[in-house]
Amino acid sequence: GDQVPQVAIDEGVFKYVLLRLTDSSTGRSRLLVRGAAAAAYHNHILQHTKAQLDKLLPRGSFQLDVLGGGRIEHHAEQGVISVYGYSAAFGPAVHEVTAALLRRWYPFYAADSITCSYEGY
């Protein structure tokens, strides 16, 4: 699963899911953040991600688990990301984990410009 990017998010305001991708043969896992402005529902992001992984990885070689969801507001020009809210279908993700992954993925954003809260939907 190393060819799978850990973070794939859009710009603007959109739904996101926090996922765990587990290699079925080794048991090793990685966390993934996926967010899409086009997704009307959190489940659409999950299904899209599964379809992408099916193209990249041999069928049956991985397990994908949803750890929750929420919303992300991403302003790339200002280098600002807010993680908040919850998924009606999957519950809230642990936004602090998502924010930590985003800080690693966007090293040129100031660490304090990537924030999270459990307010809002």
Catalytic positions: 42
Q: Considering only CA atoms, which of 117, 73, 68, 119 is closest in space to residue 93?
A: 68
Q: How many CB atoms lie within 10 A of CB 48?
A: 15
What's the CA dihedral at 35, 36, 37, 40 to 10 degrees? -100
- Residues whose CB falls within 8 Å of the CB of residue 56, separated by 6 or more in sequence, listed in order: 3, 4
